[in-house]
Structure 1
Amino acid sequence: MNDLIIDIGLVLIIATILAIIARRLAQPIIVGYLVAGILMGPAGFGLVTNSETIAFLSELGVVFLLFIVGLEINLKRIKGAGTAALLVGLLQVLLTFAAGFALARFLGFNSVTASYIAIILTLSSTVTVIKLYGDKHELNTLHGRVALAILLVQDLVAIIALSLLATQETSTWSFSTILVGIGGLLTIAVLSKLFLDRLFTLVSRWPELLYITSIAWCFLFVIAAQLLGISTAIAALLAGISLSPLLVHHEISARIRPLRDFFATLFFVSIGMTITFSGTSATLIGILALFVILVCPLLIMTVMSIIGFKAKPSFLTSIGLGQISEFSLIIAGAGVQAGLINIEILSITALLAVITFVSSSYFITYDTTVYSRFSRVLRQFEKLGIRHLRLQYGNTSPKPEYIIFGAHRMGMRIINTLRSMKKKVFVVDHDPQVIKKLMKKRIPCRYGDIEDPHIMEQIGIHHAKMVISTIPRFEDNLLLIQRVTVLNPQAAIIVTADHEHEGLQHYEHGAHYVILPQVLSGKHVSTLMQDPISAVIKRKTKYHNALHRAKNNKQRGTHNTYDHRK
């Protein structure tokens, strides 16, 4: 027992130190955990003596991880992702799996192992992408939304893969999986209707009771799975899905997350302990890593180009998904536990995770720079489109007074204000869905982006009195300022920036005004702070009603904008 306590303590201390180092180097924390496992395992210093016990405890990390995944599954997100983005996700999964399976068979693996390798290579890391895109404020961009839609499809595929692959008996997987799937869904539907909502509404009055009831519910499914001889991972996932419709599911997730993080740390460290360099082929790892880093993004970009997306969003989406997933590690671990693949595949998967997590963090950070350098070559992909998205409304030779790049929340309010003033407006956006909405409202617009070298002349930049960009990307705005300054020196230029130092550079290059949304919001809140608290509270109804009016006007297509001062 004392040795076990020492081992767990060493795991947590070393994992913490390396996780801090990983974050300081702008790497995912999981990289730190995996490296900690390598150092403490047989490939390193062999510090842990109870590796089997650590591995057993780490299984709880998988249980809690998938329980929370189930809690956070929202079917409305699938509907809201957009048909084109979901189609990209589906085709990406099919093509990458097929290519990965063919590669694994070519490398000499049998069909079962090749299937595992293919699904391992197909999935990308939701945690890594959300973290890095969030740091760059790009989750709501076109490529950010498409990437999240692809990840959503991949998560659903991972769930199915766990059902099909993570079994204990290869001869009975199909019957037990179908039985559990149907039975699980029926159980979820019946229990949710009958008493789950009432039970958790009752226990939610006491936070401690809500916490322990949620864990007990999870382990009720896990115990049933053990008795039936099926995957505990799927059982935990079904337990989470059964609670996801509840109003308190966010609170349940928040309370269980620390427990999940503790055991998940043990899981990823134990995966690192399985890595052995002696029997692992460096050539094989290199081939698989190149497949993930180069071939997978190439397939995604090809699919997006065929569907009709422009080169830039296609490239930015694809390069952001060039890593394997946390689910890949879970699936590989489940395969080893079921005896379907050997431990070398798990070791290779862990090394791939380290390599691709590190590489993708740099690719996402410098994606715009890479695109700018190879944009001329990458635009050739647009010729693959079976239906080119030539979305445009209005005169083919427009003479607008105001040109707006970006028509999301801020851009749309500017557009509505200018139209209410009877000004001639032309809008450019690289999101097909946004352009379609503008076309329905009969607002002159065009599908395209700032980096298109021909777009300035096509939209009548010579006639514009003012050019406004609501796109916060620094490089795009810098390019816009340079081109407008050359083509129409008399035009006023307004751009957007996330940070003050970027705004200063825009002014130095010729911008006449720089919008800093965060600074403006801070100034407005500072103004509110000068009023009595009672006055702020009383104005809540006015703010609430103003937002309702803005929402209703948006649905009706009218041009009245939300004004917090009304």
Structure 2
Amino acid sequence: MLAVWIAAAFALGLLARQLGLPPLVGFLGAGFLLNAAGVERIPGLSDVAHLGVLLLLFSVGLKLRIQHLVRTEVWGVALLQFAISAGVVLLAWRAGGGLSLPVILVLAGTLSFSSTVLAAKILEERREIRGFHGRVAIGILIVQDMIAIAILGVNDSRVLTWTAALALLLPVAQPLLRKLLDMAGHGELLVLLGGVLAIGLGGYGFEAIGLSGELGALLIGMLLSNHPRAVELSNSLWSLKELFLVGFFLSIGLTGLPTLHTLGLAALPIAILPLKMLLYFFLLLAFGLSARTGFLAGLSLATYSEFGLIVMAGAVERELVPVEWLVATAIAVAVSFAIGAPLNRYAHDIYAALERFLRFFERDSRHPDDEPVSLGSAEIVVVGMGRVGTGAYNHTKEFGKKVVGLDSDMAKVQRHLHEGRRVVYADAEDPLLWHRLHLDKVKVIMLAVPDLEAKVVASEQLRRR
């Protein structure tokens, strides 16, 4: 049976790719198709799927920095979106007398959150995790996970106790984790360490104390994000993560077989997906983000969450809702993935077509991270002000050239400014940076960043200008 599942996933994934769709759409279809055909399920598929999710979120955490997420626009949008959802719940409770309050709350929770897995995978594939819109989207998803933990904590004091304890313990554990990464070398031990941290400590370690394993894997990754070998660790886990994630998308199709009734139930949440995207878009604009940033972040959040399946499954177990609602939720999640994945692949092209209309809604005042970056009269730009970049800066300065440096490390920026160099904070891996830079007078751009991936992203974006 294992061979049948692998072959079906490959065949439909390849078909999706030939049609210009992401392979994950084919994996979703394979799950539903094999379930409908009555093919025997693979033992442990859900465990494989869970491992894939943990490795993905750990890899995402390695590319994020905590200071980027503790921002007003992240918490503000996440909390406002949740408050608006709560308002809709209240209106539905008053108008829909046929439903009990617990059932309406279950539905609201199911529909309000976005998929961390899909957003993370899409942003990672586009190499936009560290971009401003990527950081905002992932930050909002983290806040949503924290809201879920808070809701669980209302009924379980153990959750609140461990959450408070972890807030104190995780920063203390950071030096030990960094030391382990230094000692692991560059071979199989590095891959094994990644598995231990993502699956053991972050995943099942957090679950053992009643917290979200997915959030745990993300947080453990974030503790190592400023380590010099964080990118190497992420790259070492790439193939393993991609293989296990196939199990995640296959498993969604195993929730149940769709019928006309469940398809009808799923039609409403599918129909309001555009409204969900618009809500995120206008909330982000309200916090001063540009139309481009708001559109890209909102589109990556315009899905339904795998967490909704867990919430609905719990409601079915408590007999609050019929099992058909669980199947309908699975259909809505799967369809949102199937719609969201290809749309996000062409997100930049879609925005380019709608840019004139969408920019009409921008505020006059702009978020500092979304402001156009002026390089003044600089003729030469040095991207990455480490040892090599600083040497290049000093050398060109000696010839009387007008030069400016860019770096994503604020501490380096402050040091260079103190030493008299003109350096601007900017992340070369942020695709939107190259749309915001004024390059009218620039003749030469030197890419002195150590990360090859950052050089590739910067080169691709510059060619598009």
Specify the TM-score bucket, using the shorter chain as the normaliser. 0.5 to 0.7
Deviation readout 1:138-182 (Å, 9 max, x if unpaired) = 444xxx3332343144135326526746xxxxxxx734x221441
Q: Percent identity?
A: 19
- Whether 1:79 and 2:69 are equivalent positions in the alignment is no
Q: Does 1:367 align with 2:359?
A: no
Q: Does 1:280 align with 2:269?
A: no
Q: TM-score, normalised by structure 2?
A: 0.64
Aligned runs of 1:18-417 on 2, under 5 Å?
18-25=12-19, 27-41=21-35, 44-48=36-40, 57-61=44-48, 64=51, 68=55, 77-81=64-68, 83=70, 86-103=71-88, 106=92, 108=96, 110-140=100-130, 144-158=131-145, 160-161=147-148, 164=151, 174-175=154-155, 177-183=156-162, 186=165, 234=212, 265=247, 268-269=250-251, 271-282=253-264, 285-292=266-273, 294-337=274-317, 339-383=319-363, 385=365, 400=377, 402=379
Q: TM-score, normalised by structure 1?
A: 0.55
Equivalent-residue separation in structure 2 for 1:350 and 1:92 (angstroms): 26
Task: Decide whether the 8 Å contact of 2:299 with 2:340 is kept in 1.
Answer: yes
Task: Give 1:353 shift.
Answer: 2.8
Compare relative contact order (CA 8 Å, sep 6+) and give the higher one, 1 or 2.
2
State the alpha-carbon separation in 2 of the partners of residues 416 and 393 from structure 1: 22
Which letter does structure 2 place at the counterpart of 1:60? Answer: D
Q: Distance in 2 between matches of 1:265 and 1:224?
A: 23
Deviation at 1:427?
Answer: 9.8
Q: Distance in 1 between matches of 2:425 and 2:238?
A: 47
* Residues 1:332 and 1:416: Cα distance change in structure 2 (over 3 Å): farther
Alignment-mate amino acid for residue 346 of structure 2:
Y
Q: Work out the CA distance in 2 between the residues paired with 1:356 and 1:30.
A: 12
Contact 2:288 2:366 in 1 (8 A): yes
Return the alpha-carbon distance in structure 2 between the equivalents of residues 349 and 128 of structure 1. 16
The 5 Å alignment of 1:446-525 reads 464=441, 466-467=442-443, 497-498=459-460
Residue by residue, what CA displacement relative to the aligned partner does 1:70-114 show, whole Å, maximum 9, x if unpaired?
A: 86696994523155xx33222332233334445566494544344
The residue correspondences of 1:525-544 to structure 2 (distance < 5 A) are none
Q: Quickly say closer, same or farther: Cα 1:62–1:409, change in 2 above 3 A.
A: same
Structure 1 unmatched ranges of 5 or more? 1-5, 166-172, 226-230, 472-495, 507-566
User: 1:392 & 1:237 partners in 2: Cα distance?
Assistant: 34
Q: Residues 32 and 420 from structure 1, CA distance in 2 versus in 1: closer, same or farther, beyond 3 angstroms?
A: same
The gaps in structure 2 that reach 5 residues or longer are 427-431, 448-457
- Deviation track 1:416-456 (CA, whole Å, cap 9, x = no partner) reads 76555444568999x9x99x97999795999998879xx98
Aligned equivalents of 2:421 and 2:223: distance in 1?
A: 39
Q: CA RMSD, aligned part only? A: 5.9
Query: Aligned letter for 1:19?
Result: G
Contact 2:25 2:341 in 1 (8 A): no
User: Match of 1:361, as an amino acid?
Assistant: A
Aligned mates of 1:193, 1:318 — CA distance in 2: 35
